[in-house]
Structure 1
Amino acid sequence: MRLFLFFSFIILLSGCTSIEVAKEINKVTTGIKKSVTNIIKNKEKSIEKEDPKKLEKVTELEKEIELEKEIIKTEKKKEKKLAKQQKKIVKINFFSKTLDELRQDLGNPSLLRNDGGTQMARFDTLGCRLFFFFNSNLNLPRVEHFEIRDTKGNLIDKKEHIQNCYKNFKLT
């Protein structure tokens, strides 16, 4: 019986110590949590106090970036409209032609480029450039999109300029 009481007393003491350790660990974790939140709050306050100029610069840069994005979007819309106008004006149908057929009509391209699933061919003259885009994933790539641009890279939108470009390529 003494042995039983002795072992039960030891078990009881060891059980109580584990509860006390758990309580202490809980206190330590809450203390660490409070100190970390205080440090974060202090850093945020110091950033707000020290860097109002930096915050203004950041907001100005963000506004400039947004303006640039809007400008790019409007330019892309203009280019799409011009490309549609070109296709309406153009009398020669380049769609569904292969690169070999274009070589027969226009000669060798000045530039051939493969970029992912797209192949691009550029034909140059002194006054303009014809760009043809192919889907290179097909067995026999055919023209799916084309553009007429001047030497500076701007889309040509006037009928007279397009006709002059065709004359340069001897297509009319």
Structure 2
Amino acid sequence: MGRATVRAALQTFLTGTPGITTLYKDAPWEMTGDNWQTNSLPGTPGFLHLDHSSESRIALGGEHGGLKQIDYTASLVLLYQYVIPSTVASKDVWVDGLDSLLDAVVTRIRSNRAANTDGTIVFEAGNQDQGIQISQDLPHWDHGGGKVRNWVRVEFKVTEIVPA
């Protein structure tokens, strides 16, 4: 197992979350416009980034037995974009889609603590103390392009248990 296996499991688990149009396994070197909009609806590409990992021994019976617990800090970086329609009733309607997206992501992470694995790849995800945290930048308006953009980071803890 290891980083690549954990990342692949998380990507598979989070793919198909409502509102995410494309999910990359880490930051792509290029993204084109088709990653965002579908029929002028808000769309969001995202990527996974494993920010940090640490290892601890779980030993019963001394130094020659036991398991290793590997804790990762995973970030799902969401690149939210809303195309401003020509007529709108409210100038802050763009945030409705973002709130729905974030609720869908958190609901997905909560839906299965082992990220739809049998527990041998991901022991638990987002289930630890302060297991899910959201950091959101201030919105950016592209007045010339008629868009509102907001980058968001959903950080969640992931634990893998491996033989020592």
TM-score by length of 1: 0.21
Higher helix share: 1
Q: Between the two structures, name the one with larger relative contact order (CA 8 Å, sep ≥ 6).
A: 2
Q: Which has the larger radius of gyration?
A: 1
TM-score by length of 2: 0.22
Higher strand share: 2
